[in-house]
Amino acid sequence: MSDEQVPVSVITGGAGFLGSHLADYLLAKGHQVVALDNLITGNVANIEHLAGNKRFKFIEHDVTEYIYLPGKVDYIFHFASPASPIDYLELPIQTLKVGALGTHKTLGLARAKKARFFLASTSEVYGDPLEHPQSETYWGNVNPIGPRGVYDEAKRFAEAMTMAYHRYHGVETRIIRIFNTYGPRMRPNDGRVVPTFIVQALKGEPITVFGEGQQTRSFCYVADLIEGIYRLMMSDCADPVNIGNPREMSVLQFAEEIIRLCNSSSEIVYKPLPEDDPKIRQPNISKARETLDWEPTMALEPGLEKTIAYFRQLIEKNAI
C-alpha cells in the first residue's frame, strides 16, 4: 500500500485511556495515527510502547487552540476531555472549553481536510434518566447548573455543534454515546468505581460505596467499545449511537464482585451520595445491533481479571 493509500487518523485525547487503545486498534488496521493530547489527564505511559512506530506520531497540543496538521487527514476521532467526576469537578472550565472550543476546532480541521469526524460523547447526556434503559431518542434529564453539568452540557453542546457542521457544512460526522467502560490503562486515581474499587481491594483498604450502593451501572470492556467505535466510524450512520454493555448491576454488587476476584479482605464502607449522581444507567443497544451488527462479547469476570492484573502490576511497581 502506497503512502497515498494509507488512511490517516487523528485522535484527540490520544494519550488517554480510550484514545491509546484506539491508537493500537487503528495501527493494527494499517492506519497512520496522529495522537494529540495536552496531557492534562492523559499519560504518555499509555502510548510509550508505540515509540519508534513509524506510523504513529504524538503531538502535545491543546485542541482548544488552533490545530495545524500538514498533509491529508481521513478520519478525526475527538476524544479529548476530562472524563471522570474527579477530573471535571477539579477542571470545570477546561472541561467546558474542550467540549465547546475543542469540538469547534476539530470540526474545523475535519471540514478543511474533508475528513470524517467522530465525536466521543457519553451516556451522561442522559443525566439522571427518567427513561430506563436509555435509548438514543431520549433527550435526557440534566441539571445544567449542578456540579456535573460542566461535563454533561459540554458533551450535549458538542453533539449539537457536530450536527450543525453535518447539516450546514456537509461534514461527514459520527456520534457515539459511551456507557461505563473499563480495562487496563484507566487512571488509578480518577475517581471512577472500577479503578477505585480495584485499588482499594488490592491494598486491603475499605471499599467506599456511595449511598446504599443501589445505583446501577453497566460495564463494557474496552476492547468491545473500541470495536464498536471503529464500526460506527466506518458506517453511514450520522445519528448518535449508544455503545455499552446492557448487563446492569448495582454498585454494591460490583463492589462485592471486586472483593471476590481480588481475594481481598476489604470491608465495604458507605459515604453520602454525590449531587446529581445518576441512579440508573443501562444502554439500549438495539440501534448498535441493527446498524453496526455490534454487541459486547467480553464477559464481566474475564474483563475484570485483565483489569485487576494491570492494577496489581502498578502496585508492585509502586506506581500507585
Q: How confident is the model at residue 2 (pLDDT cuts 50, 70, 90)?
A: low
d(CA 270, CA 125): 27
Q: Which position among 75, 88, 151, 182 bears the catalytic label?
A: 151
Amino acid at site 255 = A
pLDDT at 46: 98
Domain range for 29: 8-182+221-245+283-297
Amino acid at site 98 = V
Q: What is the 3-state secondary structure (H, E, C) of 183-223?
A: CCCCCCCCCCHHHHHHHHHHCCCCEEEECCCCCEEECEEHH
Read off the CATH number of the domain in which 164 is found: 3.40.50.720
CB count, 10 Å around CB of 312? 14
CB 182 within 8 A of CB 245: no
Domain assignment present for 99: yes
CB 162 within 8 A of CB 107: yes
Domain assignment present for 149: yes
Residue 166 in this model has a pLDDT that exceeds 80:
yes
Total domains in the chain come to: 1
Does residue 151 carry a catalytic annotation? yes
Domain assignment present for 253: no
pLDDT at 266: 97
Predicted confidence (pLDDT) per residue in 308-319, tens digit: 999 999 999 988
Amino acid at site 159 = E
Amino acid at site 199 = V
CB 30 within 8 A of CB 19: no
Predicted confidence (pLDDT) per residue in 171-208, tens digit: 999 999 999 999 999 999 888 999 999 999 999 999 99
Tell me the pTM: 0.96
Domain assignment present for 144: yes
Beta strand 32-37 with 56-60 is: parallel
Domain assignment present for 240: yes
Q: Is the previous residue joined to 133 through a cis bond, with omega within 30 degrees of 0?
A: yes
Q: How confident is the model at residue 278 (pLDDT cuts 50, 70, 90)?
A: confident
Domain assignment present for 62: yes
Domain assignment present for 107: yes
Domain assignment present for 147: yes
